[in-house]
């Protein structure tokens, strides 16, 4: 799915977001392609505050029951903006 308009995108610097999830008999696959005009990272310690900076986060709930907190069967996968190579992209802004 590609999202290129809407109220959320008007509030932030993301210009386009494409995401997808697929599975086979053994694996679960994720795709996120985010076009952001100002990527922000380096403000918080990676081990404690990475989620307060630009990142892509996937939440998995394999329990089949709606929950608002982490429990067995519920997980978060986070990919920090600092994982990407800023030398190839002039739009990265480290604070």
pLDDT tens digit sequence for 50-72: 778 888 888 889 898 988 788 89
pLDDT of residue 25: 95
Per-residue tokens: 56: 């892509």
pLDDT of residue 37: 75
- The low-confidence residues of the chain, meaning pLDDT below 50, are 90-95
Secondary structure element (H or E) that encloses residue 48, with its range:
helix 46-49
Q: How far apart, in whole angstroms, are the C-alpha atoms of residue 24 and residue 36?
A: 31
Could you tell me the pTM of the whole model? Answer: 0.62
């Amino acid at each position: 799915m590609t999202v290129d308009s809407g109220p959320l995108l008007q509030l932030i610097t993301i210009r386009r977001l494409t995401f997808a999830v697929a599975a086979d008999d053994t694996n679960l696959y994720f795709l996120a392609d985010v076009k952001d005009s100002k990527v922000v990272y380096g403000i918080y310690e990676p081990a404690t505050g990475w989620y307060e900076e630009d990142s892509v986060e996937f939440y998995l709930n394999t329990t089949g029951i709606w929950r608002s907190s982490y429990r067995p069967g519920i997980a978060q996968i986070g990919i920090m903006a600092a994982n990407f190579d800023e030398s190839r992209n002039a739009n990265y802004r480290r604070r």
